[in-house]
Amino acid sequence: ASGLREMAVETPDVGWEDIGGLDDVKNELAETIQGPIMHPEEYNVFGMSPSRGVLFYGPPGCGKTLIAKAVAKECGVNFISVKGPELLNQWFGESEANVRDLFDKARAAAPCVIFFDEIDSIAKSRGSSEGGAGAASDRVINQLLTEMDGIGPKKKIFIIAATNRPDVIDPALTRPGRLDQLIYIPLPDESSRLAILRASLRRTPCGKDVNLEYIARMTEDFSGADLAEICQRACKLAIRERVAERKKFEEERRERAKDGLILSNDSFMP
């Protein structure tokens, strides 16, 4: 009854091939996460606690959520996604209870990746919030740290947190053994934009005159989300055009049928 309805366990359907660019990030993550999630016991041998996760930061719409999903899919584990503000509740103790519920759910779904979007909303430096909210948000962070440290070396739970504001995150959260790797997800450069366009159009038939290289060159400062939107709009226009063409074709056919030029249902639409 925590009101965390968004917190469903999923098996994501996004793979590396759906993500354009970001090759370094993909390679690095495959290694960073394969370790703790697939072979946590190895860390014991070396007297280390495995990393609990990574913190993604960077401008919006550049693939943080996509990568988190793809990581879960590539490792063949469950995926739980939650946005920081969803955990916050005005009632005393409820936010901490939500954090506890989240980790209970993750333990039940292990091996799994928890994707924690907008983590800054609950993990701002302790003592930094103004007014009465301070003590409450300090308790939420403390709960989060307790849960992270309590996962234990055997549980295969990996946390990917995301923020646009890495500068306000409580440093306790990024200590070794917690979210100890900070990974920047940048705006795509020209070759990444081309890769994103290609990934977005992977299942779309394109005309021969569609010049993706040109579009990639002309879209400086566009995010991955902006590029995906361009592709979506183009598809909508193409659909509209086809529907109009089909209508016109059928109208003409009816006209010809009226004139007795067509007897059977010999419609042909290219």
**What residue ranges bind ligand ATP (CB under 6 A)?**
19-22, 60-66, 117, 196, 199-200, 224-225, 228
Instruction: Please compute Rg for the chain using Cα positions.
Output: 25
Q: Which residues, listed in sequence order, are joined to residue 113 by a DSSP beta bridge?
A: 79, 158
Closest to ligand ATP by CB, 134 or 186: 186
CB of 32 to ligand ATP, least distance (A): 18
Residue number closest to ligand ATP, CB atom: 224
CB of 225 to ligand ATP, least distance (A): 3
Query: Which residue type is seen at 165?
Result: R
C-beta of 165 vs 242, nearer to ligand ATP: 165
Backbone angles phi, psi at 201, to 5 degrees: -105, 20
Nearer to ligand ATP, 19 or 161 (CB): 19
Which tokens sit at 198? 């290609």
The CB-of-67 to ligand ATP minimum distance in angstroms stands at 7
Closest approach of Cβ 201 to ligand ATP, in Å? 10
The answer for residues whose C-beta is within 8 angstroms of residue 133's C-beta and 6 or more apart is none
Count the alpha carbons within 13 Å of 117 in the hemisphere toward its beta carbon. Answer: 18
**For residue 203, what are the contacts with CB-CB under 8 A and spacing of at least 6?**
none
Given the complex with ligand ATP, which of 61 and 134 has the nearer CB atom? 61
